Amino acid sequence: MAEQHTKTRNGLDLEQMVQTIDALKQDPSLAQFEFRARNQWINGGTNRSTIKDFYGAGSEDASRQEPFVFTNGEPPVLLGNNEGANPVEYLLHALAGCVTTTTVLHAAARGIAIKSLSTDLTGTMDLQGLLALHDNATVGYKEIRIDMDIEADCSDEELDELLAFARDHSPVCNTVCRPVPVTVKRVKTKQEAA
Footprint on residues 77-116 left by a copy of itself (CB under 8 A):
77-79, 82, 84-102, 104-106, 114, 116
Report, in Å, the least distance between residue 84 CB and a copy of itself.
Answer: 7
> Which amino acid appears at position 14 of this protein?
L
Q: How many other C-beta atoms are found inside a 10 Å radius of the C-beta of residue 193?
A: 4
CA separation, residue 183 to residues 25, 86, 101, 175, 186 (Å): 31, 22, 28, 15, 10
Angle at 35 between CA 169 and CA 185, to 5 degrees: 115
Cβ-Cβ contacts under 8 Å for 148 (sequence gap 6 or more): 99, 103, 117, 118, 119, 163
Contacts to a copy of itself from residues 48-67, by CB under 8 A: 49, 51, 54, 56-57, 61, 63-64
Q: Does 37 bind a copy of itself (CB under 8 A)?
A: yes
Nearer to a copy of itself, 153 or 168 (CB): 168
| 171: exposed, middle or buried (Cβ count in 10 Å: 0-12, 13-18, 19+) | middle
Identified binder of a copy of itself from the candidate list 11, 157, 191, 194, rule CB under 8 A: 11
Q: How many other C-beta atoms are found inside a 10 Å radius of the C-beta of residue 79?
A: 9
CB 10 within 8 A of CB 108: yes
Report, in Å, the least distance between residue 3 CB and a copy of itself.
Answer: 19
Identified binder of a copy of itself from the candidate list 118, 153, 155, 161, rule CB under 8 A: 118
Nearer to a copy of itself, 35 or 153 (CB): 35
Q: Does 155 bind a copy of itself (CB under 8 A)?
A: no
Nearer to a copy of itself, 1 or 187 (CB): 187
Q: Does 142 bind a copy of itself (CB under 8 A)?
A: yes
Q: Residue count at the site for a copy of itself (CB under 8 A)?
A: 134
